[in-house]
Structures are given as structure tokens and as C-alpha cells.
Amino acid sequence: MTSGRAQLLRDMVRIRVVEETLADYYRDEQQMRTPTHFSIGQEATAVGVCAATTSQDLVFTAHRSHAPYLAKGGDLKAMVAELYGKQAGCAHGRGGSIHLVDRAVGFGGSAAILGEMIPVAVGAAWAFARSGRPRAVATFFGDGATEEGVFAESLNLASVHRVPVVFVCENNLYSISSPIGARQPAGSTIQDRAEAAGVTAARVDGNDVFAVYEAAQRALRHCREGNGPYLLELATYRWREHVGPGFDHGQDHGYRPVRETEAWMARCPIVRATEILREQHPDIDRTVAEWSAQYGDEIQRAVVYAKEQPFPDVDALLDGAYHPVPR
């Protein structure tokens, strides 16, 4: 069972299992000392988009970085070691959860200042376009980041220079505890803002991995064919608290109705993809269970590995801030 569609489901299952396991360790042992933004519930956006990229394409993200990193093929052990602050981490423990990177697979980096990576992706894509090769760049960010001026500046810049970049907005309706309605006007969408900047755009159900995948293929083709940038607005929802391992809707955090969260959880992207695939693959549930077990093992091993790894050498604290000064 290795059809393309099944692979999308499989990738989501892997990310879910990895993140849930990490969340447990994070909460129970508090050994990962890095603020961590889980994508649990949002796996379809990362998987659908990254699956549509080639190994030559680059992906950048904001703080909610694990899922795109893994979906793009980032090294799991290096990610977990990074969360544990170890030298074996993908950023040698300097960066943490919010600064994942794996250039070998085309994961260009994640950053935690809202909107900061959006123009970076435009610049990277522009560099690609200059080289004449049909490479593209995708950049993930949340609904909240679209309020940063740099988002509008980047749309405009990419549009004027017809840069092959896909802006991927994971609209999960919240910026920490602020609902989108308190931050953006009703009656207009992020898609609208992109289109008004001359950027082709589409809104897609971000919990439907197949729909995301197809939309991302269209978007990337559009870019590769020299038609300029594309924006995908993907409606989705995070299940856990903004930062950290816990659920918060059951607690008295008051910012989102329990019913809303539960309704979105009922629209779990993994469950949905499973249901869709069940017609063709009647034994899909067993397969998913096998995958879960397999990835459960993988992440447990990655955690063991990460814990065993040494911390960075304190004497090397300054290393890498600068290239050696020629004197």
C-alpha cells in the first residue's frame, strides 16, 4: 500500500505520533527546554504542501515548525536532539524548536518572529528564478502573521517580480488566544488580500490532505511555469495550547469554546483521510495502526537517542557567531 494518497495519510500519521509522543515527554519530564508549538490537528497542511514539492524546492516556516520539517523529510533524530538541546540537533542545540533547519532535504529554516520568514522565502525563490531552474519555494505562516506589514510587503514584492513562491497560510483562526475576528475584518479573507496584491490565491479545506495536495500541486506548477507567486489559505485548527504540550480547551482558558474545539477535532485530518481511503483500502485501519506502531517505535528510539547525546561543549559557546576575523 504505497499509493501516493496512502503516503499522504502515512506522513500525517507519522507526524501525529511523533508530536503526541514528544508532547507527553515534554510535559512529563520537562527536559526539552524550548518553547514548542505543536501542529497536532494541523498535519494535513504540512503534508499536503510538502508532498507536492520536489527535493529541489525549499520550504521555510514560522514557529509552528515540526510538521513541515518532518513532512519535507527533515531528519527526525536531529529534530528531537534539537528539542533536547543536544549537539546532535539539527541546529546543534543553538536554535531549538523554533529554529529547525535541514537544508539537505530542502527545509530552509524556521523562525519565531511573526512574518519574518515570508520575505526570506521570496528572496530565496527569486534567487531560484534567476538561476533559471524550475525550483520553487513554499513558506508557511499563520493567520496571525498576515497582520504583520511584512506580509503585505512580501506579497507585493513577489507579485511585481513574479517570484516562484507559494505563500501557505495555515489559518487556524487564532493568534495565541486572540480569535481572528478580533484581529481582521469580517467579510474579507486572506485570499482577498493576496489577490488584491496581484497574487493568485485559493482557499482550501486545510484538514483535507488530498485537497491541499492538489491545490499545492497547482500552485507549484503555476510558479514553475513563471506565472508568479501563489497563496494558499488553508483552514485548519490546532488542538493543543498555542505553545506547549497541553490541551487547553477543557481548562478554563476561555478563549475558545469547548464546542468549537470538539467540532474541529471531529474533523481530524487523519480520520478524514482514512475514511476517504477506506473505500479503496478496506483494511486501512489496520494499516494505520501498523504505521502508528512503527512510528511509535521510531520516535521512542529518537528520544532515547536524543537523551543519550551530549550537550554542546560550553567552551564552544561563541563558535559560529562569526567567521574567524582575518587579522
Partner 1 sequence: MRTLTYWQAISEATVQCMEADESIFIAGEGVDDIKGTFGTTKEAYARFGANRVIDVPNSENATAGFAVGAAACGLRPLLVHTRADFMFLALDPLVNLAAKWRYMYGGDKGGVPVVTRGVVGRGWGQGATHSQSPHATFAHYAGLYVAAPASPADAKGLLVQALTGDTPVVLVENRNLYPLTGEVPAGATAIPFGVGRIARRGADVTVVATSLMVHEAERAAVQLAEQGISVEVVDVRSLRPLDDRIICESVARTGRLVVADTSWARYGFTAEVAAVVAEHIPHALTAPIRRLALPDCPAPVSWPLEEAFHPGAGGIVEACLQLCGQAPGDLPALADVAAGFQGPY
Ligand X SMILES: Cc1ncc(C[n+]2csc(CCOP(=O)(O)OP(=O)(O)O)c2C)c(N)n1
**Residue ranges binding Mg ion (CB under 5 A):** 142-144, 172, 174
Query: Out of 65, 172, 207, 274, which residue is the one contacting ligand X (CB under 6 A)?
Result: 172
Please state, in angstroms and rounded to a whole number, the distance separating the CA atoms of residues 162 and 157: 8
Closer residue to partner 1, CB minimum distance, 48 or 73: 73
- Beta strand 200-205 pairing with 137-142: unpaired
Q: Which does 64 bind (CB under 5 to 8 A by kind): ligand X, partner 1, a second copy, none?
A: ligand X
Residue 253 sits in the site that holds ligand X (CB under 6 A): no
Q: Which three cell numbers stand for residue 187?
A: 467579510
Residue 147 sits in the site that holds a second copy (CB under 8 A): yes
Closer residue to ligand X, CB minimum distance, 14 or 64: 64
Residue 142 sits in the site that holds ligand X (CB under 6 A): yes
- Residue 22: half-sphere exposure toward Cβ, Cα within 13 Å: 33
Please state, in angstroms and rounded to a whole number, the distance separating the CA atoms of residues 149 and 127: 23
| Window 230-249: residues binding partner 1 (CB under 8 A) | 243-244
Q: Which residues of 199-222 are buried (b: 16+ CB within 10 A; e: fewer)?
A: bbbbbbbbbbbbbbbebbebbbeb
Residue 138 sits in the site that holds a second copy (CB under 8 A): no
Give least dist CB 21 to partner 1, A.
17
- Beta strand 230-235 pairing with 165-171: parallel
Q: Which does 63 bind (CB under 5 to 8 A by kind): ligand X, Mg ion, a second copy, none?
A: ligand X
Site string for a second copy, 170-199 (x = CB under 8 A): ------------xxxxxxx---xx-xxxxx
Query: Out of 7, 178, 292, 294, which residue is the one contacting partner 1 (CB under 8 A)?
Result: 178
Residues 52, 54, 55, 59: is their CA dihedral positive or negative?
Answer: negative
Query: Out of 99, 193, 222, 281, which residue is the one contacting partner 1 (CB under 8 A)?
Result: 99
Please state, in angstroms and rounded to a whole number, the distance separating the CA atoms of residues 160 and 178: 32
Q: Which three cell numbers stand for residue 172?
A: 487556524
Residue 41 sits in the site that holds ligand X (CB under 6 A): no
Please state, in angstroms and rounded to a whole number, the distance separating the CA atoms of residues 292 and 286: 10
Q: Which does 122 bind (CB under 5 to 8 A by kind): Mg ion, a second copy, partner 1, none?
A: partner 1
Residue 35 sits in the site that holds ligand X (CB under 6 A): no
Q: Which does 14 bind (CB under 5 to 8 A by kind): a second copy, partner 1, Mg ion, none?
A: none
Helix (H) or strand (E) holding 140: strand 137-142
Residue 55 sits in the site that holds a second copy (CB under 8 A): no
Please state, in angstroms and rounded to a whole number, the distance separating the CA atoms of residues 240 and 198: 35
Please state the separation of Cα 240 from the chain's center in Å. 15
Give least dist CB 170 to Mg ion, A.
7
Q: Is 245 helix (H, G, I), strand (E, B) or coil?
A: coil
Q: Is 240 helix (H, G, I), strand (E, B) or coil?
A: strand
Q: Phi and psi (nearest 5°) for 101?
A: -160, 140
| Window 296-325: residues binding a second copy (CB under 8 A) | none
Q: Which does 278 bind (CB under 5 to 8 A by kind): partner 1, ligand X, a second copy, none?
A: none
Residue 175 sits in the site that holds ligand X (CB under 6 A): yes
Please state, in angstroms and rounded to a whole number, the distance separating the CA atoms of residues 170 and 207: 10
Q: Which three cell numbers stand for residue 317?
A: 559557546
Residues near a second copy (CB under 8 A) are 147-153, 156, 159-160, 182-188, 192-193, 195-199
Residues near ligand X (CB under 6 A) are 37, 63-64, 112-114, 141-145, 170, 172, 174-176, 242
